[in-house]
Amino acid sequence: MIYRLLCLAIMISTAQASDFLDKWPTGKTESMTYEIRTFKPSETTNYNRVSITKGNDGVFTVKQTMEIPGQKVKITSLEKYVGRNIRLISSENTFKFPEIMKEKLKTDSLVIKAKVVGDSLDITANADIVQVGKIAFGPDCVTSTGSQLMARSMDFEVGKTIKYSFVNLLQLSNQQFSPIEVIDSVVGRQQVTTPLGTFDCYKVSNTVPGTKGYSYYTADQVRLPVRIELVDPESEEILMTLILQNYE
């Protein structure tokens, strides 16, 4: 769930493009900067930058950059999606590590790539720390990065529940990638205040096995994700937040 939040992986609609995406002007780029605050087990602050562009061919490109100064790590992600059905084309994720990691990994940059081949996701990498190969990737699957685009294309309606799966390509462990089941529910409306002002938002509950979070989308046509929370499943105590700081 933490990686899901860091990558703004939130809610998924169906595999059909909505009016929101159809009306996105060709060539338009939207840029957002989020502050990431972790409260437990220790307090840290990082930043995530996201841009979304619709090309002349109707393909959406989603780029993300996140720097973790305390660990001297920089993460970049670039994914391309077919706009008409919001289907992943390719994904490239790069982890830039400090020099001290070079001896262990034999490189200071870990690159994880993936492309869709039929109903499979073909994953490759430049280091043995990542388990590569093909995994099942059905029509209800996206990646954690691609969820940013998919989330905003749904028809928000209080009480609506959606089930889907996502693959976390930012998983830095020697374990095989696999789809993770997610349940998202629109639970109501709420006013949310950020450095950019106060917004009337839809509140969405995000549930992954063992974890829970909330996402807040503006109720206007922009459907901008302005706040994301990771909470303790039992106490509802907030463990992490992403809050929108800048929008262009």
- Position 160 scores a pLDDT of 85
Q: Which residue has the higher pLDDT, 182 or 239?
A: 239
Residue 8 binned pLDDT confidence (cut-offs 50, 70, 90)? very low
Q: If pLDDT is split at 50, 70 and 90, which confidence band does 174 have?
A: low
Q: Provide mean pLDDT across the span 61-78.
A: 85
Q: What is the pLDDT averaged over residues 72-89? A: 86
pLDDT exceeding 70 applies to what percent of the chain?
87
Beta pairing partners, 67: 47, 74
The residue that leads in pLDDT, 6 or 122, is 122
Q: How far apart are the first and last CA of the chain?
A: 27
Q: What is the pLDDT of residues 122-148, one digit of tens each?
A: 999 988 878 889 999 988 888 877 777
- Beta 141-143 vs 161-167: how paired, if at all? parallel
In contact, 24 and 84? CB cutoff 8 Å:
no
Q: How many residues does the structure list for the chain?
A: 248
Say yes or no to pLDDT of 5 above 70: no
Residue ranges with strand state E in the chain:
29-38, 44-54, 59-68, 73-82, 87-96, 109-117, 120-125, 133-136, 141-143, 161-167, 180-194, 197-208, 211-218, 225-231, 238-247
Supply the pLDDT for residue 163. 77
Minimum mean pLDDT among 56-65, 88-97, 149-158, 178-187: which range? Answer: 149-158
- Which pLDDT band holds residue 1 (cuts at 50, 70, 90)? very low
Task: Provide the pLDDT for residue 244.
Answer: 96
Q: What is the pTM of this model?
A: 0.85
Q: What is the dihedral of CA 30, 166, 152, 4, to 10 degrees?
A: -70
Of 147 and 65, more confident = 65
Q: Which two tokens stand for residue 184?
A: 């998202």
Higher-scoring residue by pLDDT: 23, 148: 23
Report the distance separating Cα 59 and Cα 203, nearest Å.
Answer: 29
Residue 21, pLDDT > 70, answer yes
Q: What percent of the chain has pLDDT over 90?
A: 42
> Which range among 15-24, 170-179, 207-216 shows the weakest confidence by mean pLDDT?
15-24
pLDDT for 203: 95
**Backbone angles phi and psi of 180, in degrees to 5:** -115, 130
In this predicted structure, what is the pLDDT of residue 209? Answer: 80
Tens of pLDDT, residues 177-222: 888 888 888 999 999 999 999 999 999 998 888 788 999 999 988 8
pLDDT at residue 40, rounded to an integer: 79
